[in-house]
Each structure stands twice: as structure tokens, then as C-alpha cells.
Structure 1
Amino acid sequence: MHDIEPHFGWRDRYRAEDDDASPFFGRQYSEFGFSNRVYNYLLHPQWDEFGAETLYLKLLFVDYDEGYAIIEFIGEWNDAVHNDIMHLKREFVDQLVGNGIKYFVLIMEGVLNFHGDEVDYYEEWNDEITDEGGWVALLNTHPQVDDELTQTRLDEYLHFGQHLNGLTWRPQKPHRVFEAVEGLIQTEVRRVY
């Protein structure tokens, strides 16, 4: 896992460490000092820790005018043992929501397992952004992660599933990724009603 880097294709457009509204403003990175790990596996030092023990992220892009953020994850999302959603919500999401972000694109290719528990923080996150028309979408989740998300009943608060899997997002510009996800979510909502 130490050689899996976060997506760097948009670094010329956005760097969280240079954004004074970002939770990672001022953070400095090493190319050689490996300290973060998922269990016994070291992670590339460009991934950001936010208080979770086995889950890391990279804030790839934020557009404050349009109100969206694109975030890539790696590791194991474990609410049952580590309460990862609490750390994510309090240490990361709250600051973005406070700065007007209401659309969240979570890239989940690097999340190999999800262990659900309570839904309180998901419900709170959903309540804060849906009044503004916002949403949280999970892209490219593994089947076992989809299954656990569904069993935990997170489909009430998050958009995920087959229609959001298989998206080729890396070669795209951030606004194209956002527009594509928004279109898929609007199609999903119309199908439900």
C-alpha cells in the first residue's frame, strides 16, 4: 500500500495545504517519511490522517462557488470499532460544510472494507446539506462495501450503488466529474419518484 498515491492529476488546480479554508491548510508532506499505516501496511505519505485509525483521505478538489468537494479515500472504514464517521464528520466535514460545501463526491476505490454501526453522524451530515439541495455520493465502491452500506441502511443518507460504480474519473476535469455525478443522482431521484 505504500506505493499507492492519491490522485495527483488536479494538483495544478487545487492543493488542500494551500487553501486557508481547508482542514489541511498549512500541512507539510514528506515524500520519504512513512508514518501512517492501515494495520501493518504503511501508506504513502501524501494521504491525510484525520483521527481515524484505519482510514485516510485526500481532499482532491474543492469549488467553493459551486459548493462541491471531491475526496479520495484509502483503507478500512470502520464505524463499528473506531467510529470513523465521527472523526470524519467532526474533524473534516464540519469545516467544509461551514464553508459552504453541500455536495460531496467520495471516491471509494481504495476502501476495501466497511463496518457499519450507528447512523447518527450520517443523518446529521445529511440534514445539514439536504436543505440546501446537497448530497453525498460514493463512487466506485467494492461489492462488499456496497453490501455493508446497504445492511447499515446508509442508502437513506448516501448515494451509492451500481449506477455510481465504474466511473472513469481520473482523466476528467473536476467540474466534469461533479456534473456527471450530479446528473446520475438526479436520474436516480427521478426514478424513485
Structure 2
Amino acid sequence: MHEIEPYYRWLHLYNPAEDSLSPFYGKEYNHDLYSENIYGYYIDPAWDFIGSETLYIKVLYTDYDEGFAIMEFIGEWNDAINNDIMHLKRNIIENYAHHGVNKYILIGENIFNFHGSDDSYYEEWFEDVEDGWIAAVNFPEFVQEELKNYNVDMYINMGGSLQIDKWRTMAPNRFYILVDQLIQRRLSI
């Protein structure tokens, strides 16, 4: 797992450690020291701790004018034991929402498992976005199935056209526009 890095080719466009509105503002990364781990497996030092022992994040891009954030995840999303959605909602999402972000692209290629609980934090997040949306991009199919088993798909758009293999070839604003168009198309049906 230590070889899985968060996507870094947009770092020259947005760096959460340099964004004074980011919860990671001022964080210094030591890329020579692997100290964070998930179940005893070290992860790349560029991943950020959100309060969960099993789920880490990297905010890849945020545009406060357009009101969107792109976030990549690694680990096991465990609401049953670690209440990961609470950590994500309280420690990350509420910060961005306070600054006008109401559209979230969650990249889940490196989510290895999902253990659900109740859906109250997802419902609260969904209500908070009002005219926005939450999109899960490239979550593995078995993880999507587990999310659906806990009715998370009522609050987060996932699957189908949101399996976007070539997202890394796009600029962040272009990626956002594509996801927004896909969400709007779903809403108009």
C-alpha cells in the first residue's frame, strides 16, 4: 500500500497545505518518513489523516468560486466501527461547506472495503449541499453494492457513467464540468 500515492499532477494548481481555507493548511509533509498506516500497512506520507484509523484522504482540488472539491480516498471506509463518515463530515466537509463548497467529487479507486452503519451523516451531508451534489467516482463495484445495501446511494450519486477511467487526463475544472453534466443528466430523467 505504501506505493499508492494520491494523484499529484494538479498539485501546481491547488495544494491544500497552501490553502488558508483548507483543514490541511500549513501541514508539512515529510516524504521520507512513512508513519501512517492502515491495519499495519504503511501508506504514502502524502495522504492526510481525517480522524479515522482506516480511511485517509487527499483533497486534490478545490474551487471556492465554483463551489466544488475533488477528494481522493484510500483505505477501508468503516462506518460500523470507526464512524468514518462522521470524521469525514465533521473534520473535512463542514470546513469546505462553510466556505461555499456544495459539490463534491469523491474518488474511490483505492477504497478496499466498506462497512456500513446508519445513514444519518450521509442524509445530513445531502441536506447541507442543497443545490449541489455528491458524486462517487470509480468506486469498486463491490463497494458500491455495500453502499447501496445501507441506502447511501440515496444521497451519493454513483456507478454507471460515473466510472470515469480517464479522469487523470483532464484538468480539474474540465473533470468537474464532466461530472456536473453527468449529474444534471441524471437529475433531469
Match of 2:99 in 1: 99
Match of 1:41 in 2: 41
Task: Verify: 1:8 aligned to 2:5, yes or no.
Answer: no
8 Å contact kept, 1:139–1:167: no
Structure-to-structure mapping, 1:53-72, within 5 angstroms: 53-72=53-72
| 1:170 counterpart SS class | helix
1:160 positional shift: 0.5
- TM-score scaled to structure 2, two decimals? 0.98
Matched AA of 2:32: F
Matched AA of 1:85: I
8 Å contact kept, 1:138–1:158: yes
Identity between Structure 1 and Structure 2 (%): 43
Structure-1 separation of matches of 2:111 and 2:156:
16
8 Å contact kept, 1:136–1:159: yes
Match of 2:170 among 146, 169, 172: 172
1:166 positional shift: 3.5
Unaligned stretches of 5+ in structure 2?
Answer: none
Match of 2:136 in 1: 138
Match of 1:183 in 2: 181
Match of 1:160 in 2: 158
Structure-1 separation of matches of 2:32 and 2:54:
20
1:165 positional shift: 1.0
Matched AA of 2:147: L
Residues 135-186 of structure 1: CA deviation (Å, up to 9, x unaligned): 1100001011010011000111110012211331111100011000011111
CA RMSD of aligned residues (A): 0.8
Structure-2 separation of matches of 1:88 and 1:16:
16
Residues 101-144 of structure 1: CA deviation (Å, up to 9, x unaligned): 000000000101111111111111111112xx101100001011
- TM-score scaled to structure 1, two decimals? 0.96
Residues 27-68 of structure 1: CA deviation (Å, up to 9, x unaligned): 000111111111021000000001011000000000000000
Matched AA of 2:140: H
Structure-1 separation of matches of 2:178 and 2:164:
12
| 1:106 counterpart SS class | strand
Matched AA of 1:143: E
Residues 9-40 of structure 1: CA deviation (Å, up to 9, x unaligned): 10110000000000100000011111111102
Structure-2 separation of matches of 1:129 and 1:12:
28
Unaligned stretches of 5+ in structure 1?
Answer: none
8 Å contact kept, 1:68–1:103: yes
Task: Verify: 1:21 aligned to 2:21, yes or no.
Answer: yes
1:79 positional shift: 0.2
Structure-2 separation of matches of 1:155 and 1:77:
15
8 Å contact kept, 1:123–1:157: yes
Q: How many residues align?
A: 189
